Structure 1
């Protein structure tokens, strides 16, 4: 499993519209195979949001990353107008879980 983190800032005057659009984005993530979807707003930075979810493998991650940053995707593109700097400013990372017990 791959854990995906997506981080970006939302224009302060559009955060309500962004948050409404995210219900469709989260639904689409579920349909696309994402699991354990979590969505955060930074406690110390009013406009910073982070999404976290699980995908099966790196191929699924590369596909999702491409879709999430495409202005042509019918659902994921809904949030582009709300992101400060547009899709170019979405930071996306994939992580593999390490076994801390083996290290300790």
Structure 2
């Protein structure tokens, strides 16, 4: 299991439209195998957004990352106009959970 973070800035004039499109984006993420999807707006930077979700494996992460930054994807490409710098400015990271003392 991997935890994925996606971070990007939305142009201030596009925030309302962007937020209205996220229902479709989240539905598509679920269809691509993402679970436990959480969506955040930075409290101190209103145009900075972060998505956090789980995927089962590296292949799922690689596919989602590729699709999220593709202007050809039928759903994810709708954000190209509102993300500052376009889809290639979506920063993606995948993390593996490490056991802590309390987990052992």
What interval of TM-score do these two structures reach, taking the shorter chain for normalisation?
over 0.9
CA RMSD of aligned residues (A): 1.4
- Determine the structure 2 residue equivalent to 1:49: 49
Structural mapping, 1:1-104, within 5 Å: 1-101=1-101
| Residue aligned with 1:43, SS | coil
TM-score (norm 2): 0.95
Gaps of 5+ in 2: none
* Structure 2: distance between partners of 1:16 and 1:103: 41
- The number of aligned residues is 104
Structure having the higher helix fraction is: 1
TM-score (norm 1): 0.95
* Structure 2: distance between partners of 1:70 and 1:7: 16
Gaps of 5+ in 1: none
For residue 103 of structure 1, report the CA deviation from its aligned partner: 9.1
* Structure 1: distance between partners of 2:31 and 2:103: 36
Q: Work out whether residues 8 and 49 of structure 2, in 8 Å CA contact, stay in contact via their aligned partners in 1.
A: yes
For residue 65 of structure 1, report the CA deviation from its aligned partner: 0.4
For residue 102 of structure 1, report the CA deviation from its aligned partner: 6.9
For residue 33 of structure 1, report the CA deviation from its aligned partner: 1.1
* Structure 2: distance between partners of 1:33 and 1:65: 12
